[in-house]
Structure 1
Amino acid sequence: GTKIVRCDACKSYINPFVTLLDNTRWRCSICFRNNELPQEFLYDPATKTYGDPSRRPEVRFGTVEYTATSDYMARPPQPAMYLFLLDVSHNAIQT
């Protein structure tokens, strides 16, 4: 997968509100730090070519779904927990 591009200072994700300074750098919209763009970010998965980073979905759309690897986890994933609640109040039983 592609590296998830985040600000080196504040860790915010690249988004439509950042400023692309050129094909190698971007300015964070939260803390205004200038960051380097990884080479693989120049790859456009839609056209399968390298080129303009402004065509990337991360920069074009406000919502993007990521598949994060373990590199982005502070701790291992925890097993799912389920909690079942039963309403046995007088009102619930009467209706």
Structure 2
Amino acid sequence: MKMTSSAGTMITRNNAIQRASTLKQNASLEKSPTQTVTTQTNHFFAALCGYIKLELLKGDTKLNHFALKSKLYLRAIQSAFAALRELNPAQLIA
């Protein structure tokens, strides 16, 4: 089964399912602790923005979503440890 998107390209059903799955897994759409409609809407919008940013990075870097998330987490951890070293340099030097 094929559908035509607004851009005129053909999208297979599997591709659409894969994109929805990627949106849920990589943009934390499933992990919503929200209970009211307003917070659910805000969470959905933030997850969609995150997914769009991942797609843009994916095009620029030629990496998949999982590799991008891995690199982002690694950089975040490195940045956190650098900030921690600046706060307390005497105790962290081995």
From the CA coordinates, give the structure whose radius of gyration is larger: 1
**TM-score, reference length from structure 2:** 0.27
**Higher helix content, 1 or 2:** 2
Structure possessing the higher relative contact order (Cα contacts under 8 Å, 6 or more residues apart) = 1
**Higher strand content, 1 or 2:** 1
**TM-score, reference length from structure 1:** 0.27
